[in-house]
Structure 1
Protein backbone atom coordinates (compact mmCIF):
# COMPACT_ATOMS: atom_id res chain seq x y z
CA UNK A 1 0.00 0.00 0.00
CA UNK A 2 2.83 2.39 0.84
CA UNK A 3 4.46 1.69 -2.50
CA UNK A 4 1.22 2.43 -4.32
CA UNK A 5 0.80 5.73 -2.47
CA UNK A 6 4.38 6.71 -3.29
CA UNK A 7 3.86 5.66 -6.91
CA UNK A 8 0.71 7.79 -7.17
CA UNK A 9 2.42 10.82 -5.62
CA UNK A 10 5.45 10.45 -7.89
CA UNK A 11 3.14 10.11 -10.90
CA UNK A 12 1.27 13.29 -9.97
CA UNK A 13 4.52 15.25 -9.56
CA UNK A 14 5.85 13.86 -12.85
CA UNK A 15 2.68 14.83 -14.73
CA UNK A 16 2.86 18.35 -13.30
CA UNK A 17 6.55 18.73 -14.21
CA UNK A 18 5.81 17.56 -17.77
CA UNK A 19 2.92 20.05 -18.01
CA UNK A 20 5.18 22.90 -16.84
CA UNK A 21 7.86 21.89 -19.38
CA UNK A 22 5.18 21.90 -22.07
CA UNK A 23 4.38 25.55 -21.31
CA UNK A 24 1.37 25.22 -19.04
CA UNK A 25 1.25 26.80 -15.57
CA UNK A 26 2.09 24.65 -12.55
CA UNK A 27 -0.73 22.99 -10.63
CA UNK A 28 -2.31 24.97 -7.81
CA UNK A 29 -1.18 22.53 -5.12
CA UNK A 30 2.41 22.81 -6.33
CA UNK A 31 2.32 26.63 -6.39
CA UNK A 32 0.77 26.67 -2.90
CA UNK A 33 3.44 24.26 -1.58
CA UNK A 34 6.25 26.33 -3.12
CA UNK A 35 4.81 29.56 -1.62
CA UNK A 36 4.49 27.94 1.84
CA UNK A 37 8.03 26.59 1.75
CA UNK A 38 9.41 29.94 0.61
CA UNK A 39 7.54 32.00 3.22
CA UNK A 40 8.11 29.85 6.34
CA UNK A 41 11.27 30.34 8.41
CA UNK A 42 13.62 27.42 8.81
CA UNK A 43 13.02 27.18 12.58
CA UNK A 44 9.24 26.80 12.14
CA UNK A 45 7.74 23.81 13.98
CA UNK A 46 6.22 22.32 10.83
CA UNK A 47 9.49 22.68 8.90
CA UNK A 48 11.44 20.97 11.69
CA UNK A 49 8.81 18.22 11.97
CA UNK A 50 8.89 17.59 8.24
CA UNK A 51 12.68 17.48 8.25
CA UNK A 52 12.71 15.05 11.18
CA UNK A 53 10.19 12.77 9.45
CA UNK A 54 12.21 12.86 6.24
CA UNK A 55 15.41 12.04 8.15
CA UNK A 56 13.80 9.11 9.98
CA UNK A 57 12.35 7.73 6.74
CA UNK A 58 15.74 8.07 5.07
CA UNK A 59 17.49 6.22 7.88
CA UNK A 60 14.83 3.53 7.81
CA UNK A 61 15.33 3.04 4.06
CA UNK A 62 19.10 2.80 4.55
CA UNK A 63 18.64 0.15 7.25
CA UNK A 64 16.27 -1.79 5.00
CA UNK A 65 18.76 -1.61 2.15
CA UNK A 66 21.58 -2.95 4.31
CA UNK A 67 19.69 -5.83 5.93
CA UNK A 68 19.75 -9.16 4.15
CA UNK A 69 16.63 -10.49 2.53
CA UNK A 70 15.03 -13.88 3.06
CA UNK A 71 15.42 -13.69 6.82
CA UNK A 72 13.26 -16.78 7.36
CA UNK A 73 15.64 -18.85 5.24
CA UNK A 74 19.00 -20.42 6.07
CA UNK A 75 21.40 -20.73 3.11
CA UNK A 76 22.82 -24.19 2.40
CA UNK A 77 26.42 -24.80 1.36
CA UNK A 78 27.29 -26.32 -1.98
CA UNK A 79 29.09 -29.66 -2.16
CA UNK A 80 32.88 -29.54 -2.47
CA UNK A 81 34.18 -29.52 -6.03
CA UNK A 82 31.07 -28.00 -7.60
CA UNK A 83 31.45 -24.84 -9.67
CA UNK A 84 29.80 -21.78 -8.26
CA UNK A 85 26.09 -22.38 -8.86
CA UNK A 86 23.64 -19.84 -10.15
CA UNK A 87 20.90 -21.43 -8.07
CA UNK A 88 21.27 -21.19 -4.32
CA UNK A 89 19.43 -23.53 -2.00
CA UNK A 90 17.93 -22.45 1.29
CA UNK A 91 16.17 -24.16 4.16
CA UNK A 92 13.22 -22.68 6.02
CA UNK A 93 13.91 -22.10 9.72
CA UNK A 94 10.70 -23.83 10.75
CA UNK A 95 11.69 -26.89 8.72
CA UNK A 96 15.12 -26.95 10.32
CA UNK A 97 13.50 -26.65 13.77
CA UNK A 98 11.20 -29.57 12.97
CA UNK A 99 14.14 -31.77 11.89
CA UNK A 100 16.11 -30.86 15.00
CA UNK A 101 13.09 -31.46 17.25
CA UNK A 102 12.62 -34.92 15.76
CA UNK A 103 16.29 -35.68 16.40
CA UNK A 104 15.91 -34.48 19.99
CA UNK A 105 12.87 -36.69 20.57
CA UNK A 106 14.87 -39.75 19.44
CA UNK A 107 17.23 -39.30 22.42
CA UNK A 108 16.31 -41.75 25.21
CA UNK A 109 14.77 -39.98 28.19
CA UNK A 110 13.43 -36.95 26.34
CA UNK A 111 9.67 -36.67 26.66
CA UNK A 112 9.15 -33.27 25.07
CA UNK A 113 11.43 -30.96 23.09
CA UNK A 114 11.13 -27.39 21.84
CA UNK A 115 13.62 -26.12 19.29
CA UNK A 116 13.93 -22.56 18.08
CA UNK A 117 16.20 -21.80 15.12
CA UNK A 118 17.56 -18.30 14.60
CA UNK A 119 20.21 -17.03 12.21
CA UNK A 120 23.06 -17.32 14.73
CA UNK A 121 21.71 -19.59 17.45
CA UNK A 122 19.68 -22.74 17.92
CA UNK A 123 17.93 -22.97 21.29
CA UNK A 124 16.77 -26.41 22.31
CA UNK A 125 14.87 -27.14 25.52
CA UNK A 126 13.97 -30.67 26.51
CA UNK A 127 11.95 -32.19 29.32
CA UNK A 128 13.52 -35.34 30.76
CA UNK A 129 11.17 -38.13 31.80
CA UNK A 130 13.77 -40.62 33.05
CA UNK A 131 17.59 -40.77 33.23
CA UNK A 132 19.89 -38.17 34.67
CA UNK A 133 19.30 -34.73 33.07
CA UNK A 134 23.06 -34.08 32.64
CA UNK A 135 23.49 -37.36 30.72
CA UNK A 136 20.44 -36.57 28.62
CA UNK A 137 21.80 -33.09 27.93
CA UNK A 138 25.14 -34.55 26.76
CA UNK A 139 23.37 -37.05 24.48
CA UNK A 140 21.00 -34.37 23.27
CA UNK A 141 23.86 -31.99 22.46
CA UNK A 142 25.65 -34.71 20.49
CA UNK A 143 22.47 -35.66 18.59
CA UNK A 144 21.60 -32.06 17.76
CA UNK A 145 25.15 -31.27 16.64
CA UNK A 146 25.09 -34.28 14.34
CA UNK A 147 21.71 -33.29 12.91
CA UNK A 148 22.82 -29.66 12.53
CA UNK A 149 25.88 -30.81 10.59
CA UNK A 150 23.68 -32.99 8.36
CA UNK A 151 21.65 -29.90 7.44
CA UNK A 152 24.73 -28.58 5.57
CA UNK A 153 24.20 -24.92 6.44
CA UNK A 154 26.67 -22.31 5.18
CA UNK A 155 27.05 -20.80 8.63
CA UNK A 156 25.93 -23.35 11.22
CA UNK A 157 24.29 -21.58 14.16
CA UNK A 158 25.63 -21.99 17.69
CA UNK A 159 23.81 -24.63 19.68
CA UNK A 160 22.35 -23.90 23.13
CA UNK A 161 20.84 -26.96 24.86
CA UNK A 162 18.91 -27.06 28.12
CA UNK A 163 17.49 -30.22 29.68
CA UNK A 164 15.38 -30.29 32.81
CA UNK A 165 13.54 -32.93 34.73
CA UNK A 166 9.88 -32.87 33.89
CA UNK A 167 7.63 -31.96 36.78
CA UNK A 168 4.96 -34.63 37.20
Structure 2
Protein backbone atom coordinates (compact mmCIF):
# COMPACT_ATOMS: atom_id res chain seq x y z
CA UNK A 1 0.00 0.00 0.00
CA UNK A 2 1.27 3.44 -0.79
CA UNK A 3 1.64 6.23 1.72
CA UNK A 4 1.58 9.96 1.34
CA UNK A 5 4.56 10.73 3.56
CA UNK A 6 6.11 14.13 2.87
CA UNK A 7 9.09 14.00 0.55
CA UNK A 8 10.17 17.64 0.73
CA UNK A 9 13.77 18.28 1.80
CA UNK A 10 14.57 19.21 5.35
CA UNK A 11 15.23 22.93 6.01
CA UNK A 12 18.10 24.10 3.87
CA UNK A 13 21.23 25.17 5.69
CA UNK A 14 23.83 27.60 4.44
CA UNK A 15 27.39 26.34 4.58
CA UNK A 16 30.64 26.88 2.72
CA UNK A 17 31.31 24.58 -0.19
CA UNK A 18 32.83 21.38 1.23
CA UNK A 19 31.29 18.73 -0.97
CA UNK A 20 27.85 17.25 -0.75
CA UNK A 21 28.42 13.94 0.97
CA UNK A 22 28.88 15.11 4.56
CA UNK A 23 26.17 14.66 7.14
CA UNK A 24 24.34 17.60 8.63
CA UNK A 25 25.43 18.75 12.07
CA UNK A 26 22.95 18.35 14.88
CA UNK A 27 22.20 21.33 17.12
CA UNK A 28 22.53 19.06 20.20
CA UNK A 29 20.02 21.27 22.00
CA UNK A 30 19.18 18.87 24.84
CA UNK A 31 22.78 18.07 25.95
CA UNK A 32 23.76 21.74 25.56
CA UNK A 33 20.77 22.89 27.62
CA UNK A 34 21.43 20.34 30.37
CA UNK A 35 25.11 21.26 30.55
CA UNK A 36 24.30 24.98 30.59
CA UNK A 37 21.78 24.50 33.41
CA UNK A 38 24.27 22.41 35.40
CA UNK A 39 27.05 24.99 34.99
CA UNK A 40 24.65 27.83 35.80
CA UNK A 41 23.43 26.13 38.98
CA UNK A 42 26.96 25.30 40.14
CA UNK A 43 28.29 28.78 39.39
CA UNK A 44 25.34 30.42 41.14
CA UNK A 45 25.78 28.27 44.21
CA UNK A 46 29.52 28.97 44.44
CA UNK A 47 28.98 32.69 43.84
CA UNK A 48 26.44 32.80 46.67
CA UNK A 49 28.83 30.98 48.97
CA UNK A 50 31.75 33.28 48.13
CA UNK A 51 29.57 36.36 48.66
CA UNK A 52 28.40 34.95 51.98
CA UNK A 53 31.99 34.38 53.16
CA UNK A 54 33.01 37.89 52.04
CA UNK A 55 30.12 39.29 54.06
CA UNK A 56 31.55 37.70 57.20
CA UNK A 57 29.25 34.71 57.37
CA UNK A 58 30.52 31.12 57.53
CA UNK A 59 30.60 29.16 54.29
CA UNK A 60 27.98 26.57 53.52
CA UNK A 61 28.24 23.57 55.79
CA UNK A 62 28.09 21.03 52.95
CA UNK A 63 31.02 22.72 51.18
CA UNK A 64 33.16 22.74 54.33
CA UNK A 65 32.28 19.11 55.06
CA UNK A 66 33.05 18.15 51.47
CA UNK A 67 36.39 19.97 51.54
CA UNK A 68 37.37 18.32 54.82
CA UNK A 69 36.29 14.90 53.54
CA UNK A 70 38.27 15.25 50.30
CA UNK A 71 41.33 16.46 52.20
CA UNK A 72 41.25 13.32 54.38
CA UNK A 73 40.83 10.85 51.52
CA UNK A 74 43.67 9.21 49.60
CA UNK A 75 43.86 9.38 45.80
CA UNK A 76 43.28 5.62 45.54
CA UNK A 77 40.05 5.82 47.56
CA UNK A 78 37.10 4.09 45.88
CA UNK A 79 34.87 7.18 46.04
CA UNK A 80 37.59 9.41 44.53
CA UNK A 81 38.32 6.94 41.71
CA UNK A 82 34.61 6.49 41.01
CA UNK A 83 34.00 10.24 40.91
CA UNK A 84 36.97 10.75 38.60
CA UNK A 85 35.72 7.96 36.33
CA UNK A 86 32.27 9.55 36.10
CA UNK A 87 33.82 12.95 35.31
CA UNK A 88 36.04 11.45 32.60
CA UNK A 89 33.14 9.52 31.06
CA UNK A 90 30.98 12.65 31.03
CA UNK A 91 33.78 14.67 29.46
CA UNK A 92 34.40 12.07 26.76
CA UNK A 93 30.68 11.94 25.99
CA UNK A 94 30.54 15.72 25.59
CA UNK A 95 33.64 15.66 23.37
CA UNK A 96 32.07 12.93 21.25
CA UNK A 97 28.92 15.00 20.84
CA UNK A 98 30.98 18.05 19.91
CA UNK A 99 33.11 16.23 17.32
CA UNK A 100 30.45 14.14 15.56
CA UNK A 101 27.81 15.55 13.21
CA UNK A 102 24.81 13.49 14.27
CA UNK A 103 21.52 13.69 12.31
CA UNK A 104 21.94 10.19 10.93
CA UNK A 105 18.29 10.26 9.86
CA UNK A 106 18.98 12.94 7.22
CA UNK A 107 20.59 11.81 3.95
CA UNK A 108 22.42 14.69 2.20
CA UNK A 109 21.47 15.49 -1.38
CA UNK A 110 23.76 16.45 -4.25
CA UNK A 111 24.81 20.07 -4.31
CA UNK A 112 24.53 22.34 -7.30
CA UNK A 113 26.23 25.67 -7.86
CA UNK A 114 24.40 27.29 -4.95
CA UNK A 115 26.17 27.45 -1.55
CA UNK A 116 23.24 25.64 0.06
CA UNK A 117 22.71 22.09 1.21
CA UNK A 118 19.57 20.02 1.36
CA UNK A 119 18.75 16.57 2.64
CA UNK A 120 15.99 14.00 2.78
CA UNK A 121 14.89 12.20 5.89
CA UNK A 122 15.13 8.44 5.75
CA UNK A 123 11.37 8.14 6.25
CA UNK A 124 10.80 10.22 3.12
CA UNK A 125 13.27 8.12 1.12
CA UNK A 126 11.57 4.94 2.31
CA UNK A 127 8.14 6.31 1.40
CA UNK A 128 9.22 7.26 -2.12
CA UNK A 129 10.87 3.89 -2.77
CA UNK A 130 7.88 2.03 -1.33
CA UNK A 131 5.45 3.96 -3.55
CA UNK A 132 7.56 3.21 -6.60
CA UNK A 133 7.88 -0.45 -5.62
CA UNK A 134 4.14 -1.14 -5.29
CA UNK A 135 3.62 0.42 -8.72
CA UNK A 136 5.59 -2.44 -10.32
CA UNK A 137 3.38 -5.05 -11.95
CA UNK A 138 3.12 -8.12 -9.74
CA UNK A 139 4.10 -6.43 -6.46
CA UNK A 140 1.41 -6.78 -3.83
CA UNK A 141 3.20 -4.99 -0.99
CA UNK A 142 6.66 -3.72 -0.16
CA UNK A 143 8.76 -2.75 2.81
CA UNK A 144 11.80 -0.49 2.56
CA UNK A 145 14.54 0.17 5.10
CA UNK A 146 16.87 2.97 4.05
CA UNK A 147 20.23 3.52 5.68
CA UNK A 148 23.11 5.81 4.86
CA UNK A 149 24.88 3.25 2.70
CA UNK A 150 22.24 0.63 1.94
CA UNK A 151 18.55 0.40 1.11
CA UNK A 152 16.80 -2.95 1.57
CA UNK A 153 13.60 -3.53 -0.42
CA UNK A 154 11.43 -6.53 0.47
CA UNK A 155 8.49 -7.06 -1.85
CA UNK A 156 5.68 -9.61 -1.94
CA UNK A 157 4.60 -10.69 -5.41
CA UNK A 158 1.21 -12.34 -5.93
CA UNK A 159 1.54 -13.01 -9.66
CA UNK A 160 4.17 -13.09 -12.44
CA UNK A 161 7.45 -14.94 -12.24
CA UNK A 162 9.59 -13.88 -9.33
CA UNK A 163 12.65 -13.37 -11.53
CA UNK A 164 10.72 -11.02 -13.82
CA UNK A 165 9.32 -9.06 -10.90
CA UNK A 166 12.75 -8.85 -9.30
CA UNK A 167 14.32 -7.58 -12.52
CA UNK A 168 11.65 -4.91 -13.04
CA UNK A 169 11.71 -3.92 -9.37
CA UNK A 170 15.48 -3.61 -9.33
CA UNK A 171 15.41 -1.34 -12.40
CA UNK A 172 12.64 0.83 -10.93
CA UNK A 173 14.43 1.13 -7.59
CA UNK A 174 17.68 2.16 -9.25
CA UNK A 175 15.89 4.84 -11.25
CA UNK A 176 14.09 6.05 -8.10
CA UNK A 177 17.33 6.29 -6.10
CA UNK A 178 18.94 8.25 -8.93
CA UNK A 179 15.99 10.64 -9.14
CA UNK A 180 16.17 11.34 -5.41
CA UNK A 181 19.44 13.14 -6.04
CA UNK A 182 21.27 11.84 -2.98
CA UNK A 183 24.94 12.72 -2.65
CA UNK A 184 25.77 9.11 -1.83
CA UNK A 185 23.09 6.86 -3.34
CA UNK A 186 22.66 3.80 -1.11
CA UNK A 187 23.38 0.35 -2.45
CA UNK A 188 20.21 -1.55 -3.24
CA UNK A 189 19.29 -4.97 -1.94
CA UNK A 190 16.04 -6.22 -3.54
CA UNK A 191 14.19 -9.31 -2.28
CA UNK A 192 10.97 -10.66 -3.79
CA UNK A 193 8.95 -13.49 -2.23
CA UNK A 194 5.53 -15.05 -2.55
CA UNK A 195 2.80 -14.30 0.03
CA UNK A 196 2.81 -16.58 3.04
CA UNK A 197 0.19 -19.28 2.77
CA UNK A 198 -2.56 -19.16 5.34
CA UNK A 199 -2.90 -22.28 7.43
TM-score range, shorter chain: 0.7 to 0.9
1:2 matched residue in structure 2: 34
Q: Is 2:68 aligned against 1:35?
A: yes
CA–CA separation in structure 1 for the residues paired with 2:189 and 2:45: 54
**1:55 pairs with 88, 93, 107, which one?**
88
What is the number of residues matched between the two proteins?
A: 163
Shift of the alpha carbon at 1:14?
Answer: 4.5
Higher alpha-carbon deviation: 70-79 or 92-101: 70-79
Name the SS for the 2:185 alignment partner: coil
CA–CA separation in structure 2 for the residues paired with 1:102 and 1:162: 16
More helix by share: 1
TM-score, length basis structure 2: 0.72
Asked if 1 retains the 8 angstrom alpha-carbon contact of 2:53 and 2:59, the reply is: no
Shift of the alpha carbon at 1:95?
Answer: 0.9
TM-score, length basis structure 1: 0.83
CA–CA separation in structure 1 for the residues paired with 2:174 and 2:130: 12
Q: What is the alpha-carbon root mean square deviation over aligned residues?
A: 2.3
**1:126 pairs with 155, 176, 188, which one?**
155
1:104 matched residue in structure 2: 133
CA–CA separation in structure 1 for the residues paired with 2:110 and 2:183: 5
2:182 matched residue in structure 1: 153
Name the SS for the 1:123 alignment partner: strand
Shift of the alpha carbon at 1:67?
Answer: 2.3
Question: Which consecutive unaligned segments of at least 5 residues does structure 2 have?
Answer: 1-32
**RCO comparison, higher one (Cα < 8 Å, 6+):** 2
Structure 2 CA distance for partners of 1:95 and 1:42, relative to 1, 3 Å: same
Structure 2 CA distance for partners of 1:167 and 1:65, relative to 1, 3 Å: same
